[in-house]
């Protein structure tokens, strides 16, 4: 097993030809683990803020795409994929994030994790927006809205069964990701819904723009990547904003 790691901006952005033809095409056992994904990179600015990588990597045949949400799941995922043959892209963020899972987290490849049950709206999140989704769900609860929260840590292959199940249960879906809304996790969820069980959907993410220099919390707020934005999307999709 070969592991390669660097900033996310330096891999899909600069090496996609080599990844496609020299790793994915021959189906080599290479695990690409990249940090500094998204705009939370902060002061380094747009040149180092990769918001297109999930879209790029999930379109490469044979490539699997995984986005952990905290340190516990990161350790479990990096270890687990060593036992699964073939190429992987693991996308990590730069900032320290709240711990979502307890030690001993059992990662199941290709399976979404249900963090909270509710019947009014399903919030599907990945990466550092999972803690934000949990905060949004708590705020929604105080407003009488019961939300399911799903950690979609495996973007490809997507757990379509869980997405469809909660679309049927809740009737409304919100996705949340630190990535361009075009081509990312939200787009992948939309593909599942439109082919299997179409329901109202709102996508929280970077709105097809580049980032800029700034502190991570300021950028997350400016680009609409906070619990408040997820809550707003959940209320909007229910027609109660």
**Euclidean distance between CA atoms 210 and 208, whole angstroms:** 7
Neighbours of 240 (CB within 10 A): 11
Identify the helix (H) or strand (E) that includes residue 178.
strand 173-180
Contact (Cβ atoms closer than 8 angstroms) between residue 89 and residue 55: no
What domains does the chain contain, in order, with CATH numbers? 2-91 (3.40.50.970), 113-237 (3.40.50.920)
pTM, whole model, 2 decimals? 0.95
Mean pLDDT per 10-residue interval, the chain, length 241 residues:
94 92 98 96 94 97 98 95 97 94 92 98 98 98 98 98 98 98 98 97 97 96 98 91 44
Write the DSSP string, 137-153.
HHHHHHTT--EEEEE--
* Contacts of 172 by beta carbon, 8 Å cutoff, 6+ apart: 120, 121, 122, 199, 200, 201, 234, 237, 238
Question: Which of 183, 221, 179, 2 has the alpha carbon at shortest distance from 92?
Answer: 179
Q: What is the pLDDT of residue 55?
A: 98
The SS3 of residue 154 is: strand
List helix spans (H) across the chain.
12-18, 53-58, 71-81, 129-142, 160-170, 185-196, 216-222, 227-237
Q: What is the pLDDT of residue 240?
A: 55
Q: What is the pLDDT of residue 241?
A: 44
């Amino acid at each position: 097993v070969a592991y390669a790691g660097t900033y996310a901006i330096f891999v899909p952005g600069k090496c996609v030809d080599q990844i496609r033809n020299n790793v994915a095409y021959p189906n080599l056992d290479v695990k690409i683990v990249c940090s500094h994904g998204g705009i939370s990179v902060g002061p380094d600015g747009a040149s180092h803020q990769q918001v297109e990588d999930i879209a790029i990597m999930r379109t490469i045949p044979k490539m699997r795409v995984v986005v952990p949400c905290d340190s516990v799941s990161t350790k479990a995922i990096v270890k687990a994929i060593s036992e699964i043959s073939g190429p992987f892209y693991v996308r990590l963020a730069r900032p320290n994030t709240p711990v979502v899972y307890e030690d001993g987290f059992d990662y199941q490849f290709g399976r979404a994790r249900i963090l909270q049950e509710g019947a009014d709206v399903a919030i599907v999140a990945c990466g550092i927006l999972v803690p934000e989704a949990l905060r949004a769900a708590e705020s929604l609860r105080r407003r009488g809205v019961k939300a399911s929260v799903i950690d979609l840590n495996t973007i490809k292959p997507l757990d379509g069964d869980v997405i469809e199940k909660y679309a049927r249960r809740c009737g409304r879906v919100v996705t949340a990701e630190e990535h361009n809304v075009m081509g990312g996790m939200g787009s992948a969820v939309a593909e599942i819904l439109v082919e299997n069980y179409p329901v109202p959907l709102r996508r929280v993410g970077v709105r097809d723009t580049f980032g800029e220099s700034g502190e991570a919390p300021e950028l997350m707020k400016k680009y609409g990547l906070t619990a408040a934005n997820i809550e707003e999307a959940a209320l909007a999709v229910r027609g109660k904003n």
